[in-house]
Amino acid sequence: MSTPTEVYRDAQLAVGRSLEQIKRSRNLGIVYLILAAITAWRLTSHAGTATFNLSGGHSFGVAATPLAWVVAGSLAVMGGVQLARGLGKWQTAALAAVAVVFIFTLLAWAAAPNSFAFVGMLSQGVTYSAPLIFGAMAGIMCERSGVVNIAIEGLLLSGAFTSALVGSVVNFWVGVGAAMVVAALFAWFLAWLAIRFKVDQVIVGFFINFFVLGLTSFLGNRILAVDEAYNQVRTLVPWKIPGLHSIPVIGPILFEQTIFVYIAFALVAFLAWAFAKTRWGLRTRAIGEHPRAADTLGVNVNQLRYRNVIAAGAVAGFGGSWWTANVGRFNENITNGRGFIALAVVIVGRWSPAGALAGALVFGFFDAMEAKLSFLNTGIPGEFVQMLPYLATIIVVAGFVGRSRAPRAAGQAYDSQ
């Protein structure tokens, strides 16, 4: 006698898929069915038309209740298909589509029968994702070289503080430069202790987090609080890219941002290209995966690690000045854990720049959506919306990333002898 699970498993194996894939696809199927149930149960309750405002006075309307029923039905069908036979190579695309459709339905339900600024929200989401992108890129640069960087939070915070102080006293861009230098110094310290003394990289990383939090709060109270002139920067205005910004919908979302967003996207593209195509990228990946082999082939492992970690620090410092550019001042612990989210984004994005970009955008989007939903006053407690991205991260990491392909040598000191 075999249990139903075994029968199911045998049937799936006959189709030629690994156990791991089967498990994942079963989990996905269950997730879809749950989403279908939630949609049918909760999101059909608001009658009327939800109006999604686009830019320039355009808008479109959706009848919330019929939409919810249609979506619930399709989700149930997809869940069934996923459970029965899986979606093969379309699985990831289907997951993304399901997420988008579900959130759209949620928004329609929340907005009906009123309207809300849909494009404004998406644009806000892109803005919020910028510091996460910088943090995640800094993390990827370190981890791909075999150095675990748990100090992203501290590096971002040091950048935010420095750019606010120097930016107030001198000018904004000098402040940004100073932020990059200071964060690079902290990163150098991480590399120095990790490489020269082989101190556990996580301990050094946490030291930097603790130290920067303490120091910036202390100096904030002792110096910035003394005189407003030390903590006052003019916020950066968005720069509309000529031509591109007038594309409907996409223009206002992507091309009416501050320079930070453009640089973030450029950095992602550059790193994706550099990791794949350049000598530097190949060497970096080599020292992160198998430093001994790289050493044998003449790569100076520790020197390259130093360089990459210091460069990563500069990137994080730049990212930290995003807060100064957006808020116009420094507040105690202004980064508020975003550096840890960036760390999660690195892992969810499987250590690839493009993957991390996607993760950062999702988090940024949830930040923006949370603000919107609490404004719409839907009756769902705002806390649940705030919880969503974190729960989603757990589900993604547990369900789909799992024992992922991290750079093998991450966290290991290297002895060149």
Partner 1 sequence: MTAAIASPRPAPDAEPRHSPWPHRWISVRLNALALLTALILSALIIAISDLDKLKHGDVGGMLTNVKDSYIALAKGAFGSLRGFSETVTYATPLIFAGLSVAVAFKAGLFNIGATGQVFAGGLAAVWVGFAIDIPAVPHIILAMAAAAVAGGLWGGLVGLLKARTGAHEVITTIMLNYVASFAVLWLLKTTAFQAHGRSDAVSRDVAKSARLPFLFGFLHRSSIDLRAHFGFVIAIALAVFVWWLLKKSKLGFQFRTLGANPEAARYAGMNPGRLTIGAMLLAGAFAGLGGGSEILGGINQGHATSSFAGNIGFDAIAVALLGRSSPWGTTAAALLFGALQAGGQEMQLQVHVPIDLVLVIRALIVLFVAAPSLTRIIWRLKDSGGEEGAQLFKGWG
Interface with partner 1 (CB under 8 A):
148, 150, 193, 197-204, 206-207, 210-211, 213-215, 217-223, 226, 290-292, 332, 337, 340, 343-344, 347, 381, 383-384, 386-387, 390-391, 393-394, 397-399, 401-404, 406, 408-415, 417
DSSP state of 1: -
Nearer to partner 1, 75 or 347 (CB): 347
Contact 50, 107 (CB under 8 A): yes
- Residue 192 CB, shortest distance to partner 1, in Å, is 9
Q: Which residue type occupies 31?
A: V
| Nearer CB in complex with partner 1: 198/234 | 198
Least Å from the CB of residue 178 to partner 1: 17
Nearer to partner 1, 67 or 156 (CB): 156
Q: Phi then psi for 241, rounded to 5 degrees?
A: -75, 120
Nearer CB in complex with partner 1: 104/340? 340
Query: Which lies closer to partner 1 via its Cβ, residue 242 or residue 377?
Result: 377
Q: How far apart are CA 145 and CA 302, in angstroms?
A: 9
CA 221 to chain centre: 31
Reduced to 3 states (helix: H, G, I; strand: E, B; else coil), residue 319 is: helix
Cβ atoms of 385 and 365 closer than 8 Å: no
Q: How far is the CB of 392 from partner 1 (least distance, A)?
A: 9
The answer to whether the bond into 113 is cis (omega within 30° of 0) is yes
Separation CA 104–CA 68 (nearest Å): 10
Nearer to partner 1, 31 or 343 (CB): 343
Residue 343 C-beta: closest distance to partner 1, Å = 8
* Residue 370 Cβ vs partner 1, minimum distance, rounded to whole Å: 10
With contact defined as beta carbons under 8 Å apart, do 233 and 348 qualify? no
What are 296-300's contacts with CB under 8 Å, separation 24+? none
For tokens 């869940």, the residue is: 79
- List the beta bridge partners of residue 240: 256
For residue 378, the minimal CB distance to partner 1 (Å) is: 14
Compute the least distance from the CB of residue 387 to partner 1, in Å.
4
Nearer to partner 1, 200 or 266 (CB): 200
Residue 115: strand, helix, or coil: strand
